[in-house]
Chain A
Protein backbone atom coordinates (compact mmCIF):
# COMPACT_ATOMS: atom_id res chain seq x y z
CA UNK A 1 0.00 0.00 0.00
CA UNK A 2 1.37 3.39 -0.99
CA UNK A 3 2.04 5.99 1.67
CA UNK A 4 0.68 9.49 1.71
CA UNK A 5 3.55 11.51 0.25
CA UNK A 6 5.40 13.95 2.47
CA UNK A 7 4.71 17.55 1.34
CA UNK A 8 2.43 19.38 3.76
CA UNK A 9 0.42 20.77 0.91
CA UNK A 10 0.27 20.13 -2.81
CA UNK A 11 -0.40 22.36 -5.75
CA UNK A 12 -3.23 20.02 -6.70
CA UNK A 13 -5.10 16.97 -5.47
CA UNK A 14 -6.61 14.83 -8.23
CA UNK A 15 -9.30 12.40 -7.13
CA UNK A 16 -9.51 9.23 -9.19
CA UNK A 17 -6.77 7.53 -11.21
CA UNK A 18 -8.94 6.83 -14.25
CA UNK A 19 -8.10 8.33 -17.65
CA UNK A 20 -9.23 11.85 -16.67
CA UNK A 21 -7.36 11.87 -13.37
CA UNK A 22 -4.13 10.46 -14.71
CA UNK A 23 -4.20 12.85 -17.68
CA UNK A 24 -4.77 15.80 -15.34
CA UNK A 25 -1.93 14.65 -13.08
CA UNK A 26 0.34 14.14 -16.09
CA UNK A 27 -0.30 17.68 -17.32
CA UNK A 28 0.26 19.15 -13.85
CA UNK A 29 3.43 17.17 -13.19
CA UNK A 30 4.89 18.10 -16.56
CA UNK A 31 4.18 21.74 -15.76
CA UNK A 32 6.29 21.29 -12.64
CA UNK A 33 3.40 21.28 -10.17
CA UNK A 34 3.25 19.02 -7.15
CA UNK A 35 0.26 16.74 -7.52
CA UNK A 36 -1.14 13.75 -5.69
CA UNK A 37 -3.68 11.36 -7.19
CA UNK A 38 -6.02 9.61 -4.75
CA UNK A 39 -7.47 6.31 -6.01
CA UNK A 40 -9.99 4.29 -4.00
CA UNK A 41 -9.22 0.97 -5.69
CA UNK A 42 -6.16 -1.16 -4.94
CA UNK A 43 -4.78 -0.20 -8.38
CA UNK A 44 -5.89 2.17 -11.18
CA UNK A 45 -8.69 0.69 -13.27
CA UNK A 46 -9.80 -1.80 -10.62
CA UNK A 47 -13.18 -0.05 -10.24
CA UNK A 48 -13.62 0.78 -13.90
CA UNK A 49 -15.65 -0.92 -16.60
CA UNK A 50 -16.32 0.13 -20.19
CA UNK A 51 -17.28 -1.59 -23.46
CA UNK A 52 -14.58 -1.29 -24.62
CA UNK A 53 -12.58 0.43 -27.20
CA UNK A 54 -10.16 3.29 -26.58
CA UNK A 55 -9.51 5.85 -29.32
CA UNK A 56 -6.22 7.34 -28.20
CA UNK A 57 -5.50 9.92 -30.93
CA UNK A 58 -5.66 12.50 -28.12
CA UNK A 59 -2.38 11.06 -26.77
CA UNK A 60 -0.35 11.69 -29.95
CA UNK A 61 1.16 14.96 -28.73
CA UNK A 62 1.37 13.84 -25.10
CA UNK A 63 3.02 10.43 -25.35
CA UNK A 64 4.68 10.16 -28.79
CA UNK A 65 4.35 6.68 -30.30
CA UNK A 66 2.09 5.62 -27.41
CA UNK A 67 1.07 2.59 -29.47
CA UNK A 68 4.51 1.05 -28.99
CA UNK A 69 3.99 0.81 -25.21
CA UNK A 70 0.24 0.76 -24.56
CA UNK A 71 -1.09 -2.59 -23.15
CA UNK A 72 -3.29 -3.27 -26.18
CA UNK A 73 -5.44 -6.37 -26.65
CA UNK A 74 -6.33 -5.94 -30.35
CA UNK A 75 -6.29 -3.10 -32.89
CA UNK A 76 -9.80 -2.62 -34.24
CA UNK A 77 -9.81 -3.03 -38.03
CA UNK A 78 -13.51 -3.97 -38.33
CA UNK A 79 -16.51 -2.02 -37.08
CA UNK A 80 -20.02 -3.32 -37.46
CA UNK A 81 -23.38 -1.83 -36.67
CA UNK A 82 -26.11 -4.44 -36.27
CA UNK A 83 -29.81 -3.69 -36.37
CA UNK A 84 -31.62 -6.60 -34.71
CA UNK A 85 -34.97 -8.09 -33.92
CA UNK A 86 -35.52 -11.37 -32.11
CA UNK A 87 -34.83 -13.43 -35.24
CA UNK A 88 -33.20 -10.99 -37.67
CA UNK A 89 -30.02 -8.97 -37.98
CA UNK A 90 -28.91 -6.46 -40.58
CA UNK A 91 -25.25 -5.56 -40.35
CA UNK A 92 -23.28 -2.68 -41.83
CA UNK A 93 -19.63 -3.64 -41.69
CA UNK A 94 -16.52 -1.62 -42.40
CA UNK A 95 -13.06 -3.07 -42.53
CA UNK A 96 -9.92 -1.12 -43.27
CA UNK A 97 -6.31 -2.17 -42.91
CA UNK A 98 -5.39 1.47 -42.27
CA UNK A 99 -6.67 1.07 -38.70
CA UNK A 100 -4.36 -1.90 -38.19
CA UNK A 101 -1.12 0.06 -38.53
CA UNK A 102 0.41 3.14 -36.93
CA UNK A 103 -0.94 5.57 -35.89
CA UNK A 104 -3.96 3.23 -35.48
CA UNK A 105 -7.54 4.19 -34.65
CA UNK A 106 -9.31 2.15 -31.96
CA UNK A 107 -7.94 -0.56 -29.68
CA UNK A 108 -9.44 -2.96 -27.21
CA UNK A 109 -7.78 -2.84 -23.78
CA UNK A 110 -8.67 -3.96 -20.29
CA UNK A 111 -9.12 -0.97 -18.02
CA UNK A 112 -7.03 -2.58 -15.29
CA UNK A 113 -4.14 -2.54 -17.78
CA UNK A 114 -4.79 0.73 -19.57
CA UNK A 115 -5.63 2.87 -16.54
CA UNK A 116 -2.59 1.51 -14.69
CA UNK A 117 -0.40 2.29 -17.70
CA UNK A 118 -1.69 5.86 -17.97
CA UNK A 119 -1.26 6.37 -14.22
CA UNK A 120 2.34 5.15 -14.59
CA UNK A 121 2.93 7.92 -17.15
CA UNK A 122 1.79 10.49 -14.58
CA UNK A 123 3.95 8.95 -11.87
CA UNK A 124 6.99 8.92 -14.16
CA UNK A 125 6.38 12.62 -14.81
CA UNK A 126 6.51 13.26 -11.05
CA UNK A 127 2.95 12.81 -9.76
CA UNK A 128 2.32 10.88 -6.54
CA UNK A 129 -0.24 8.08 -6.64
CA UNK A 130 -2.00 6.95 -3.46
CA UNK A 131 -4.16 3.88 -3.98
CA UNK A 132 -6.66 2.15 -1.66
CA UNK A 133 -7.77 5.56 -0.40
CA UNK A 134 -11.23 7.12 -0.63
CA UNK A 135 -11.63 10.90 -0.84
CA UNK A 136 -14.59 11.19 1.52
CA UNK A 137 -15.26 14.92 1.30
CA UNK A 138 -14.03 18.38 0.40
CA UNK A 139 -12.00 20.76 2.56
CA UNK A 140 -12.85 24.44 2.18
CA UNK A 141 -11.53 27.73 3.47
CA UNK A 142 -13.66 30.49 5.05
CA UNK A 143 -14.80 31.74 1.65
CA UNK A 144 -15.97 28.30 0.52
CA UNK A 145 -13.04 27.80 -1.84
CA UNK A 146 -12.05 24.12 -2.04
CA UNK A 147 -8.64 23.58 -0.44
CA UNK A 148 -8.28 19.82 -0.40
CA UNK A 149 -9.99 16.55 0.42
CA UNK A 150 -10.63 14.40 3.45
CA UNK A 151 -9.66 10.77 3.01
CA UNK A 152 -10.54 7.60 4.87
CA UNK A 153 -6.99 7.30 6.19
CA UNK A 154 -6.30 8.34 9.79
CA UNK A 155 -5.06 11.94 9.65
CA UNK A 156 -5.48 11.68 5.91
CA UNK A 157 -6.54 15.20 5.00
CA UNK A 158 -4.79 16.36 1.84
CA UNK A 159 -4.56 20.10 1.31
CA UNK A 160 -3.84 21.78 -1.98
CA UNK A 161 -4.36 24.97 -3.94
CA UNK A 162 -7.12 23.19 -5.83
CA UNK A 163 -8.87 19.85 -6.35
CA UNK A 164 -9.65 18.17 -9.66
CA UNK A 165 -12.53 15.71 -9.27
CA UNK A 166 -12.16 12.81 -11.69
CA UNK A 167 -14.07 10.50 -9.37
CA UNK A 168 -16.31 8.94 -11.94
CA UNK A 169 -19.98 8.74 -12.79
CA UNK A 170 -21.21 8.81 -9.19
CA UNK A 171 -18.91 11.77 -8.36
CA UNK A 172 -19.72 12.43 -4.74
CA UNK A 173 -17.29 15.35 -4.80
CA UNK A 174 -19.05 17.14 -7.68
CA UNK A 175 -22.32 16.53 -5.81
CA UNK A 176 -20.86 17.93 -2.61
CA UNK A 177 -19.60 20.95 -4.55
CA UNK A 178 -23.17 21.51 -5.74
CA UNK A 179 -22.35 20.94 -9.40
CA UNK A 180 -24.29 17.68 -9.88
CA UNK A 181 -27.76 16.61 -8.74
CA UNK A 182 -27.78 13.86 -6.11
CA UNK A 183 -29.54 11.24 -8.20
CA UNK A 184 -30.74 11.61 -11.77
CA UNK A 185 -31.79 8.31 -13.35
CA UNK A 186 -32.89 10.01 -16.58
CA UNK A 187 -29.37 10.86 -17.70
CA UNK A 188 -27.74 7.54 -16.94
CA UNK A 189 -27.48 4.18 -18.58
CA UNK A 190 -26.32 0.94 -17.02
CA UNK A 191 -23.76 -1.14 -18.86
CA UNK A 192 -23.44 -4.82 -18.00
CA UNK A 193 -20.97 -7.11 -19.69
CA UNK A 194 -19.53 -10.57 -19.66
CA UNK A 195 -15.93 -11.23 -20.59
CA UNK A 196 -15.95 -14.62 -22.28
CA UNK A 197 -12.82 -16.72 -22.77
CA UNK A 198 -12.08 -18.16 -26.22
CA UNK A 199 -8.72 -19.15 -27.70
CA UNK A 200 -7.13 -16.38 -29.80
CA UNK A 201 -7.13 -18.47 -33.00
CA UNK A 202 -10.81 -19.30 -32.53
CA UNK A 203 -11.62 -15.59 -32.20
CA UNK A 204 -9.60 -14.88 -35.33
CA UNK A 205 -11.35 -17.65 -37.31
CA UNK A 206 -14.85 -16.73 -36.20
CA UNK A 207 -14.53 -13.00 -36.76
CA UNK A 208 -12.30 -13.00 -39.84
CA UNK A 209 -9.31 -11.42 -38.13
CA UNK A 210 -5.55 -11.80 -38.40
CA UNK A 211 -3.55 -12.05 -35.17
CA UNK A 212 -3.58 -8.68 -33.42
CA UNK A 213 -6.62 -7.44 -35.33
CA UNK A 214 -9.91 -6.74 -33.54
CA UNK A 215 -13.60 -6.28 -34.21
CA UNK A 216 -16.10 -3.90 -32.62
CA UNK A 217 -19.85 -4.53 -33.04
CA UNK A 218 -22.53 -2.09 -31.84
CA UNK A 219 -26.10 -3.39 -31.78
CA UNK A 220 -29.56 -1.89 -31.56
CA UNK A 221 -32.84 -3.74 -31.09
CA UNK A 222 -31.54 -6.39 -28.70
CA UNK A 223 -32.77 -5.00 -25.37
CA UNK A 224 -36.43 -6.10 -25.31
CA UNK A 225 -37.58 -2.57 -26.04
CA UNK A 226 -35.71 -0.99 -23.13
CA UNK A 227 -33.89 2.01 -24.62
CA UNK A 228 -30.28 0.98 -25.17
CA UNK A 229 -28.14 -1.33 -27.24
CA UNK A 230 -25.70 -4.19 -27.23
CA UNK A 231 -22.03 -4.64 -28.00
CA UNK A 232 -19.40 -7.23 -28.77
CA UNK A 233 -15.67 -6.50 -28.69
CA UNK A 234 -12.77 -8.84 -29.26
CA UNK A 235 -9.76 -8.97 -26.94
CA UNK A 236 -6.74 -11.23 -27.47
CA UNK A 237 -8.31 -14.34 -25.95
CA UNK A 238 -11.65 -13.07 -24.68
CA UNK A 239 -14.76 -11.49 -26.14
CA UNK A 240 -16.76 -8.78 -24.34
CA UNK A 241 -20.52 -9.14 -24.76
CA UNK A 242 -22.98 -6.85 -23.07
CA UNK A 243 -25.79 -4.35 -23.15
CA UNK A 244 -26.21 -0.72 -22.18
CA UNK A 245 -29.73 0.27 -21.12
CA UNK A 246 -31.48 3.36 -19.84
CA UNK A 247 -31.62 3.17 -16.03
CA UNK A 248 -35.13 4.59 -15.94
CA UNK A 249 -36.24 2.17 -18.67
CA UNK A 250 -34.67 -0.76 -16.88
CA UNK A 251 -36.29 0.18 -13.59
CA UNK A 252 -39.71 0.36 -15.21
CA UNK A 253 -39.33 -2.89 -17.11
CA UNK A 254 -38.93 -5.34 -14.27
CA UNK A 255 -36.34 -7.14 -16.39
CA UNK A 256 -33.01 -8.18 -14.87
CA UNK A 257 -29.93 -6.86 -16.68
CA UNK A 258 -28.22 -10.23 -16.81
CA UNK A 259 -31.29 -11.64 -18.58
CA UNK A 260 -30.66 -9.13 -21.36
CA UNK A 261 -27.10 -10.42 -21.77
CA UNK A 262 -28.43 -13.99 -21.79
CA UNK A 263 -30.88 -12.99 -24.57
CA UNK A 264 -28.11 -11.43 -26.60
CA UNK A 265 -25.85 -14.46 -26.23
CA UNK A 266 -28.67 -16.69 -27.46
CA UNK A 267 -29.54 -14.53 -30.46
CA UNK A 268 -29.13 -16.60 -33.65
CA UNK A 269 -26.73 -14.00 -35.08
CA UNK A 270 -24.54 -14.03 -31.97
CA UNK A 271 -24.72 -17.52 -30.45
CA UNK A 272 -22.50 -19.26 -33.06
CA UNK A 273 -19.69 -16.77 -32.36
CA UNK A 274 -19.69 -17.64 -28.68
CA UNK A 275 -19.96 -21.42 -28.85
CA UNK A 276 -17.82 -23.02 -26.16
CA UNK A 277 -16.93 -19.70 -24.51
CA UNK A 278 -16.74 -19.58 -20.72
CA UNK A 279 -17.47 -16.56 -18.51
CA UNK A 280 -14.31 -15.05 -17.11
CA UNK A 281 -15.78 -11.92 -15.51
CA UNK A 282 -19.21 -10.34 -15.18
CA UNK A 283 -19.27 -6.63 -14.46
CA UNK A 284 -21.48 -3.55 -14.44
CA UNK A 285 -21.05 0.21 -14.42
CA UNK A 286 -23.16 3.33 -14.82
CA UNK A 287 -22.60 5.61 -17.81
CA UNK A 288 -23.48 9.33 -17.90
CA UNK A 289 -25.28 9.58 -21.24
CA UNK A 290 -27.09 12.88 -20.87
CA UNK A 291 -24.70 14.58 -23.28
CA UNK A 292 -24.01 18.29 -23.56
CA UNK A 293 -27.30 19.47 -22.08
CA UNK A 294 -26.88 17.42 -18.90
CA UNK A 295 -23.29 18.48 -18.18
CA UNK A 296 -22.64 20.30 -14.92
CA UNK A 297 -20.74 23.54 -14.49
CA UNK A 298 -17.11 22.47 -14.84
CA UNK A 299 -15.50 24.75 -12.26
CA UNK A 300 -16.08 26.17 -8.81
CA UNK A 301 -13.68 28.03 -6.54
CA UNK A 302 -10.64 25.77 -6.15
CA UNK A 303 -12.42 22.95 -7.94
CA UNK A 304 -12.55 21.39 -11.40
CA UNK A 305 -14.42 18.34 -12.63
CA UNK A 306 -13.50 16.09 -15.59
CA UNK A 307 -14.38 12.79 -17.24
CA UNK A 308 -17.45 10.76 -16.28
CA UNK A 309 -17.82 12.98 -13.20
CA UNK A 310 -18.62 15.78 -15.65
CA UNK A 311 -20.85 13.57 -17.81
CA UNK A 312 -18.41 13.59 -20.72
CA UNK A 313 -19.21 10.19 -22.23
CA UNK A 314 -20.32 10.59 -25.83
CA UNK A 315 -23.23 8.24 -26.53
CA UNK A 316 -24.22 9.27 -30.02
CA UNK A 317 -25.41 5.98 -31.49
CA UNK A 318 -22.76 5.32 -34.11
CA UNK A 319 -20.11 6.95 -31.89
CA UNK A 320 -19.69 5.54 -28.41
CA UNK A 321 -16.64 7.12 -26.83
CA UNK A 322 -15.62 8.08 -23.33
CA UNK A 323 -12.00 7.37 -22.46
CA UNK A 324 -10.73 9.80 -25.11
CA UNK A 325 -13.03 12.53 -23.79
CA UNK A 326 -11.85 11.85 -20.25
CA UNK A 327 -8.19 12.10 -21.31
CA UNK A 328 -8.84 15.28 -23.32
CA UNK A 329 -10.68 16.89 -20.42
CA UNK A 330 -8.11 15.73 -17.85
CA UNK A 331 -5.23 17.23 -19.86
CA UNK A 332 -7.13 20.51 -20.25
CA UNK A 333 -8.00 20.57 -16.54
CA UNK A 334 -4.38 20.00 -15.55
CA UNK A 335 -3.14 22.72 -17.89
CA UNK A 336 -5.79 25.22 -16.80
CA UNK A 337 -5.11 24.43 -13.15
CA UNK A 338 -1.40 24.98 -13.63
CA UNK A 339 -2.00 28.31 -15.36
CA UNK A 340 -4.39 29.42 -12.60
CA UNK A 341 -1.84 28.49 -9.92
CA UNK A 342 0.81 30.51 -11.79
CA UNK A 343 -1.49 33.53 -11.75
CA UNK A 344 -2.41 32.99 -8.12
CA UNK A 345 -6.13 32.89 -8.90
CA UNK A 346 -7.85 29.54 -8.45
CA UNK A 347 -11.37 30.99 -8.19
CA UNK A 348 -14.00 29.70 -10.61
CA UNK A 349 -13.20 32.75 -12.76
CA UNK A 350 -9.49 32.05 -12.60
CA UNK A 351 -10.16 28.48 -13.72
CA UNK A 352 -12.40 29.51 -16.63
CA UNK A 353 -9.61 28.65 -19.05
CA UNK A 354 -10.56 25.00 -18.59
CA UNK A 355 -13.95 25.37 -20.22
CA UNK A 356 -12.54 27.66 -22.91
CA UNK A 357 -9.95 25.05 -23.76
CA UNK A 358 -12.58 22.30 -23.98
CA UNK A 359 -14.76 24.52 -26.17
CA UNK A 360 -11.83 25.05 -28.51
CA UNK A 361 -11.30 21.31 -28.95
CA UNK A 362 -13.17 18.07 -29.55
CA UNK A 363 -14.42 17.53 -26.00
CA UNK A 364 -17.13 20.18 -25.98
CA UNK A 365 -17.37 20.71 -29.73
CA UNK A 366 -18.34 17.08 -30.36
CA UNK A 367 -20.72 17.10 -27.43
CA UNK A 368 -22.33 20.36 -28.49
CA UNK A 369 -22.72 19.29 -32.10
CA UNK A 370 -24.24 15.93 -31.08
CA UNK A 371 -26.31 17.24 -28.18
CA UNK A 372 -29.52 15.83 -29.68
CA UNK A 373 -28.11 12.37 -30.33
CA UNK A 374 -28.71 10.60 -26.99
CA UNK A 375 -32.41 11.50 -27.05
CA UNK A 376 -32.79 10.51 -30.69
CA UNK A 377 -30.97 7.17 -30.40
CA UNK A 378 -32.87 6.17 -27.26
CA UNK A 379 -36.27 7.28 -28.61
CA UNK A 380 -39.03 4.74 -28.69
CA UNK A 381 -39.46 4.77 -32.48
CA UNK A 382 -35.75 4.34 -33.11
CA UNK A 383 -35.53 1.52 -30.57
CA UNK A 384 -38.69 -0.47 -31.26
CA UNK A 385 -40.24 0.41 -34.59
CA UNK A 386 -37.36 1.29 -36.91
CA UNK A 387 -35.34 -1.80 -36.01
CA UNK A 388 -38.27 -3.94 -37.20
CA UNK A 389 -38.83 -1.73 -40.22
CA UNK A 390 -35.21 -1.99 -41.35
CA UNK A 391 -34.90 -5.75 -40.80
CA UNK A 392 -38.28 -6.58 -42.38
CA UNK A 393 -37.63 -4.34 -45.34
CA UNK A 394 -34.23 -5.91 -46.02
CA UNK A 395 -35.68 -9.40 -45.58
CA UNK A 396 -38.42 -8.71 -48.11
CA UNK A 397 -36.08 -7.06 -50.61
CA UNK A 398 -33.99 -10.22 -50.65
CA UNK A 399 -36.81 -12.75 -50.40
CA UNK A 400 -37.46 -14.11 -53.89
CA UNK A 401 -41.21 -14.38 -54.39
CA UNK A 402 -41.35 -16.24 -57.73
CA UNK A 403 -43.63 -16.71 -59.55
CA UNK A 404 -44.79 -13.29 -58.25
CA UNK A 405 -42.71 -10.48 -59.81
CA UNK A 406 -40.55 -8.35 -57.51
CA UNK A 407 -42.49 -5.57 -55.80
CA UNK A 408 -40.92 -2.11 -55.87
CA UNK A 409 -38.82 -1.16 -52.86
CA UNK A 410 -40.93 1.93 -52.12
CA UNK A 411 -44.02 -0.25 -52.13
CA UNK A 412 -42.30 -2.65 -49.72
CA UNK A 413 -41.29 0.23 -47.47
CA UNK A 414 -44.82 1.54 -47.41
CA UNK A 415 -46.25 -1.88 -46.65
CA UNK A 416 -43.69 -2.60 -43.92
CA UNK A 417 -44.15 0.80 -42.30
CA UNK A 418 -47.91 0.25 -42.21
CA UNK A 419 -47.49 -3.19 -40.65
CA UNK A 420 -45.43 -1.69 -37.81
CA UNK A 421 -47.77 1.24 -37.29
CA UNK A 422 -45.21 3.78 -38.47
CA UNK A 423 -46.61 6.99 -39.90
CA UNK A 424 -44.93 8.65 -42.88
CA UNK A 425 -44.84 11.99 -41.16
CA UNK A 426 -42.94 10.50 -38.21
CA UNK A 427 -40.54 8.79 -40.57
CA UNK A 428 -39.90 12.04 -42.44
CA UNK A 429 -39.65 14.04 -39.23
CA UNK A 430 -37.19 11.56 -37.69
CA UNK A 431 -35.20 11.51 -40.93
CA UNK A 432 -34.87 15.29 -40.82
CA UNK A 433 -34.05 15.17 -37.10
CA UNK A 434 -31.36 12.53 -37.73
CA UNK A 435 -29.86 14.66 -40.48
CA UNK A 436 -29.93 17.68 -38.16
CA UNK A 437 -28.36 15.86 -35.18
CA UNK A 438 -25.57 14.30 -37.24
CA UNK A 439 -25.07 17.26 -39.60
Chain B
Protein backbone atom coordinates (compact mmCIF):
# COMPACT_ATOMS: atom_id res chain seq x y z
CA UNK B 1 0.00 0.00 0.00
CA UNK B 2 3.06 2.21 0.31
CA UNK B 3 2.86 2.53 -3.47
CA UNK B 4 -0.34 4.57 -3.50
CA UNK B 5 -0.83 8.20 -2.54
CA UNK B 6 -3.52 8.98 0.05
CA UNK B 7 -4.63 12.42 1.18
CA UNK B 8 -6.18 11.35 4.43
CA UNK B 9 -9.12 13.44 5.57
CA UNK B 10 -10.23 14.00 9.15
CA UNK B 11 -13.65 12.44 8.58
CA UNK B 12 -14.11 8.67 8.24
CA UNK B 13 -16.04 8.25 4.98
CA UNK B 14 -16.87 4.64 5.80
CA UNK B 15 -18.39 3.71 9.13
CA UNK B 16 -18.89 0.11 10.23
CA UNK B 17 -21.48 -0.80 12.84
CA UNK B 18 -19.61 -3.53 14.66
CA UNK B 19 -22.74 -4.52 16.60
CA UNK B 20 -24.34 -5.62 13.34
CA UNK B 21 -21.13 -7.41 12.32
CA UNK B 22 -21.19 -9.60 15.44
CA UNK B 23 -24.19 -11.44 14.06
CA UNK B 24 -22.63 -11.79 10.59
CA UNK B 25 -21.45 -15.29 9.74
CA UNK B 26 -19.71 -14.59 6.43
CA UNK B 27 -17.73 -11.39 7.04
CA UNK B 28 -17.01 -11.28 3.31
CA UNK B 29 -15.62 -7.75 3.66
CA UNK B 30 -12.59 -9.12 5.51
CA UNK B 31 -11.28 -11.06 2.50
CA UNK B 32 -12.86 -9.15 -0.39
CA UNK B 33 -11.60 -5.64 0.40
CA UNK B 34 -8.68 -5.16 -2.00
CA UNK B 35 -6.99 -2.77 0.42
CA UNK B 36 -7.32 -5.23 3.32
CA UNK B 37 -8.90 -2.69 5.65
CA UNK B 38 -11.38 -4.88 7.55
CA UNK B 39 -10.06 -6.83 10.52
CA UNK B 40 -12.14 -9.20 12.64
CA UNK B 41 -11.92 -8.51 16.36
CA UNK B 42 -11.82 -11.12 19.13
CA UNK B 43 -15.38 -10.31 20.19
CA UNK B 44 -16.76 -11.09 16.71
CA UNK B 45 -16.93 -7.49 15.53
CA UNK B 46 -15.08 -5.67 12.76
CA UNK B 47 -12.33 -3.10 13.03
CA UNK B 48 -12.14 -0.80 10.02
CA UNK B 49 -9.46 1.66 8.84
CA UNK B 50 -10.65 4.23 6.33
CA UNK B 51 -7.29 5.91 5.78
CA UNK B 52 -5.98 3.72 2.95
CA UNK B 53 -9.26 3.06 1.19
CA UNK B 54 -9.37 2.79 -2.62
CA UNK B 55 -13.01 4.00 -2.52
CA UNK B 56 -14.02 1.06 -4.69
CA UNK B 57 -17.28 0.02 -3.00
CA UNK B 58 -16.65 -3.72 -2.82
CA UNK B 59 -17.28 -3.80 0.94
CA UNK B 60 -20.83 -2.52 0.83
CA UNK B 61 -21.66 -4.72 -2.16
CA UNK B 62 -20.57 -7.89 -0.35
CA UNK B 63 -21.98 -6.88 3.03
CA UNK B 64 -24.95 -9.13 3.71
CA UNK B 65 -26.30 -7.06 6.58
CA UNK B 66 -28.18 -3.98 5.49
CA UNK B 67 -26.79 -1.01 7.33
CA UNK B 68 -23.60 -2.52 8.74
CA UNK B 69 -21.44 -0.48 6.37
CA UNK B 70 -22.23 3.17 5.85
CA UNK B 71 -20.39 4.25 2.75
CA UNK B 72 -19.77 7.66 1.22
CA UNK B 73 -16.98 9.42 -0.60
CA UNK B 74 -14.22 11.21 1.27
CA UNK B 75 -14.54 15.00 1.21
CA UNK B 76 -13.53 16.72 -2.02
CA UNK B 77 -9.84 16.41 -2.84
CA UNK B 78 -9.22 13.86 -0.09
CA UNK B 79 -8.71 10.12 -0.21
CA UNK B 80 -6.86 8.03 -2.74
CA UNK B 81 -4.96 9.63 -5.64
CA UNK B 82 -4.18 7.21 -8.46
CA UNK B 83 -1.37 8.30 -10.78
CA UNK B 84 -1.30 5.20 -12.97
CA UNK B 85 -4.94 4.06 -12.84
Within 1-38 of B, Cβ neighbours of A (below 8 Å) are at 1, 3-4, 7, 26, 28, 31-32, 34-36
Which bracket fits the contact residues of A?
35 or more
Measured in the bound complex, the distance between the Cα atoms of B34 and A45 in whole Å is 20
Question: Contact between B56 and A282 (Cβ–Cβ < 8 Å)?
Answer: no
Report Cα–Cα, A47/B13, bound state, in Å: 15
Which stretch (A85-93, A185-193, A424-432) binds chain B? Answer: A185-193
Compute how far the CA of A389 lies from the CA of B13 in the bound complex, rounded to whole angstroms.
Answer: 46
What's the dominant secondary structure at chain B's contact region?
A: loop
Residues on A with beta carbons closer than 8 Å to the beta carbon of B82? 45-49, 111-112, 281, 283
B61 touches A257 (CB 8 A): no
Contacts of B63 in A (CB 8 A): 183
Task: Knowing A285-B56, A286-B61 are in contact, say whether A152-B76 is a contact too (CB < 8 A).
Answer: yes
Contact status B34-A190, CB under 8 Å: yes
Closest A residue by C-beta to B28: A251
Which chain A residues lie closer than 8 Å to B54 at the CB level? 49, 283-285
In the complex, how many residues of chain B place their beta carbon closer than 8 angstroms to a beta carbon of chain A? 33
The residues in A between 241 and 280 inclusive whose CB is less than 8 angstroms from any CB of B are 247-248, 250-258, 279-280
Q: Given A152-B76, A281-B4, A195–B32 Cβ distance below 8 Å?
A: no
Whether B84 and A281, one on each chain, are in contact in the complex, defined by CB atoms closer than 8 angstroms, is yes
Residues on B with C-beta less than 8 A from A134 are: 73-76
Report if B48 contacts A (CB, 8 A).
no
Chain B: CB-nearest residue to A50: B85
Q: CB distance B62 to A131 under 8 Å?
A: no
Q: Which residues in B have their C-beta under 8 angstroms from that of A184?
A: 61
A-B contact pairs, 24 of them (CB 8 A): A40-B77, A46-B83, A49-B82, A50-B85, A110-B83, A110-B85, A112-B84, A134-B75, A151-B76, A170-B57, A185-B61, A188-B61, A195-B84, A240-B84, A252-B28, A253-B31, A256-B36, A257-B32, A258-B36, A280-B84, A281-B85, A282-B4, A283-B85, A284-B54
Binding site for B on A (CB under 8 A): 1, 40-42, 45-50, 110-112, 131-134, 151-153, 169-170, 172, 183-185, 188, 190, 192, 195, 235, 238, 240, 247-248, 250-258, 279-286
